[in-house]
Structure 1
């Protein structure tokens, strides 16, 4: 029997704020964390902009010795995990935040695309230029991807499953999927899913710039990342960390935990098309989203909001718009192949079939009232009584945070959970020209009812990840 999986804790370290509340409030206010690079002198580089983390004092969270011995991606993971565990903690214990399960039944799944690549590059540069060749003994553990999970486990006494995976930009989303699979297999009662990344260094910038994937709008950083916009020119590197505590409903209710949302569906697959380029028809990403919908027992009409991958690249955003248009809008944004049509006409395996027509306000459960737009810097007004006329509402939050790679799949999941809790959909910054017929939320946040939200992540190597969150019902959630 399939177990219901719920979210009981969240943590975030992002370029627009550290802590879930600061991250979310700045996200819906239209804040942008992209600026000129400060971590090193980038004046001689073709790309001089990024979304860096500046907003927190690391020494509040980690001892100096650990800071010195760890890469930034581990530090971001560590801080996000601590917040998520504290949020999920049992309130009647005095000795600090408790684990939500027995240590042997508590797992960690860590997702990161490039782990300690920045440390590797910096160390090699020092070694090449040094008179006395020497590398410190902590170099290897500092760059390993699994060390983030190890540091978290040591700090919190987590002795259950510990898994680290790397599926490029889908790593964070896949970490959540893997956590859910551990829970479904009864290998754990609670799992901490973490994603973190910090790849900023000249080596990576040179490579991605030469691959023509990065925005070069150095003179206007705030408008450099333009997801889905006709003038988009590439993505902007971001950094940070995110964490979610997932539990079986039974475990969460037994300990009286606050439940913030349900993880209703998850999926992963591969394009098998190209190492860097996405399939322009979006066939595999459609299949991935359909798998998640099937698992959630939903049809496409059942999704209220999609936090899209939307990085700002010409090819990637085009392929994603095609996939979303075919699955949720009833047509391709630029025509569709016969193979794609076969995918659309297939059954979702128990859920309602894929519709051939766009969803409109005449569909069941949809109000004709347009969701209220919220200007940047303002709080959303009272609910005006309806969602957008065409479902689902879609936005990309990378114009605010940059592309956080392995961290993004989890911080964007948090955006979905918060959209469900607050009834507010964050905007797509810098989206001014787009001929898509999809309901893209641009410029300003929108207040609308959100009961279900999907987040997608697509990565190099043809990696696709899709997650669906749903408003929790059943049992006592204790959430507001």
Structure 2
């Protein structure tokens, strides 16, 4: 039997509404400075929701190059930018590594919706002859992973999970398992999304899934609060570099944290609603800890999925109580989406970065806008202000439409 490899995180990259580097993202997140604002990238006057987490002043050309960027949807541009940061942070130079042993696992919940919409409008207004020949490869949800692979010449396994809002965690978790079993030395993993678009806003809005607190954008994303009225859509990307411990040590890499476990499950309940008792979420958390060989009492902090929907926040709270029992009241739980908005398929990647920083810096980010606690959400959600805490083991939760649940366990690296 092949011995399982330990897997560590050596690099991280973020593009988000609150910062386009790990440093700026983390500073804003721990300060509780909201990235939600009025949407001005299209005419929102006829929409129920007119706010979102927009990535502003993103300079794709300087990061990627003018020629290449024209062949990439916005979600792909975000992924490439975050992957570049992560590889630079890891000091992993593909030219001095075995490219055949470096994979890319980057997913997206929706993919290139901007490319799709732009070309469909062209089709209607100017005819089929004016539609771009690159419309299909630019819009499909695997192209962020493919472009990172192409640009860096990474020839290991290439995968793009599409599991709605669980995508980022599934990508990281599956990459972890690949390295653990010896299938790669390193994987660039995470998620990317760019859905601040009219069709998405119309659909989510008509499904009454998004907040309509349009006059107070910064107060609209309010997980666990009694006055929450839905999630706030956002865009961005979060990418990490995972490596086998052996590979990282051999090249003298800085180890930021260890990924120790991964659990996934299905609600098998409803197309968009979560299981009201949180059974699938509970099983994914339980399996992640079992995979890590850790008991529930080892958990020092939880990065909650916590989107700000009425049902979702209650069901996640129930799942955490079932997992931790009475100790659930003593574990700090952070809702990053209160600050960033909900970046959908990118959320798991972005929030993995946040959890690594929590472990490194001993700071649990706050859940902002938690002003009127919901009696059914009665745990310690770190309201208002960040908190110092010694976090050795943390869970990061991600749950998606269709009943997808994915949880990763990160812990402080110890030789």
**Contact 2:262 2:409 (8 Å CA) reproduced:** yes
Which one of the candidate residues 160, 183, 192 is aligned to 1:164?
160
1:65 paired residue number: 67
CA shift at 1:277, angstroms? 0.7
Which one of the candidate residues 308, 319, 326 is aligned to 2:322?
326
2: CA distance, partners of 1:292 / 1:101: 31
Q: Output aligned runs, 1:143-158, within 5 Å.
A: 143-158=139-154
2:391 paired residue number: 450
**Contact 2:94 2:153 (8 Å CA) reproduced:** no
2:236 paired residue number: 240
- Shift in CA distance, 37/296, structure 1 to aligned 2, threshold 3 Å: same
**Contact 1:197 1:239 (8 Å CA) reproduced:** yes
State whether structure 2 residue 6 is matched by structure 1 residue 4.
Answer: yes
- Shift in CA distance, 433/124, structure 1 to aligned 2, threshold 3 Å: same
Q: Output aligned runs, 1:181-200, within 5 Å.
A: 181-200=177-196
Stretches of structure 1 that go unaligned for 5 or more consecutive residues are: 91-96, 331-357, 361-389, 475-480
Q: Output aligned runs, 1:180-329, within 5 Å.
A: 180-328=176-324
- Shift in CA distance, 194/359, structure 1 to aligned 2, threshold 3 Å: closer
SS in 2 for 1:17: coil
Per mean C-alpha deviation after superposition, the further-off stretch among 412-421 and 114-123 is: 114-123
2: CA distance, partners of 1:313 / 1:359: 25
Per mean C-alpha deviation after superposition, the further-off stretch among 214-223 and 56-65 is: 56-65
1:472 paired residue number: 413
1: CA distance, partners of 2:60 / 2:114: 18
Which one of the candidate residues 317, 322, 336 is aligned to 1:397?
336
1: CA distance, partners of 2:100 / 2:225: 48
SS in 2 for 1:77: helix
In the alignment of these two chains, the number of paired residues is 411
Which one of the candidate residues 350, 359, 363 is aligned to 2:327?
359
Per mean C-alpha deviation after superposition, the further-off stretch among 256-265 and 46-55 is: 46-55
1: CA distance, partners of 2:330 / 2:175: 29
**Contact 2:363 2:386 (8 Å CA) reproduced:** yes
1:235-262 per-position Cα deviation (integer Å, ceiling 9, x unaligned): 0111001111101111111111100000
CA shift at 1:359, angstroms? 2.2
State whether structure 2 residue 84 is matched by structure 1 residue 88.
Answer: no
2: CA distance, partners of 1:24 / 1:64: 29
**Contact 1:51 1:236 (8 Å CA) reproduced:** yes
Stretches of structure 2 that go unaligned for 5 or more consecutive residues are: none
CA shift at 1:2, angstroms? 2.5
Q: TM-score, normalised by structure 1?
A: 0.83
CA shift at 1:279, angstroms? 0.6
2: CA distance, partners of 1:122 / 1:430: 36
1: CA distance, partners of 2:263 / 2:276: 20
1:425 paired residue number: 364
Query: As a proportion of its length, which structure holds more helix?
Result: 2
**Contact 1:280 1:319 (8 Å CA) reproduced:** yes
Which one of the candidate residues 410, 413, 418 is aligned to 2:349?
410
1:250-299 per-position Cα deviation (integer Å, ceiling 9, x unaligned): 11111111000000111111001111111101111111100001111222
Q: Output aligned runs, 1:96-135, within 5 Å.
A: 97-98=93-94, 101-130=97-126, 134-135=130-131
1:33-72 per-position Cα deviation (integer Å, ceiling 9, x unaligned): 1001121111121111110101432222011122222100
SS in 2 for 1:301: helix
**Contact 1:301 1:391 (8 Å CA) reproduced:** no
- Shift in CA distance, 131/168, structure 1 to aligned 2, threshold 3 Å: closer
- Shift in CA distance, 36/189, structure 1 to aligned 2, threshold 3 Å: same
SS in 1 for 2:150: helix
SS in 1 for 2:327: coil
Q: Output aligned runs, 1:340-359, within 5 Å.
A: 358-359=326-327
1:131-156 per-position Cα deviation (integer Å, ceiling 9, x unaligned): 68520111111102222122111221
2:378 paired residue number: 437
SS in 2 for 1:18: coil
CA shift at 1:176, angstroms? 0.4
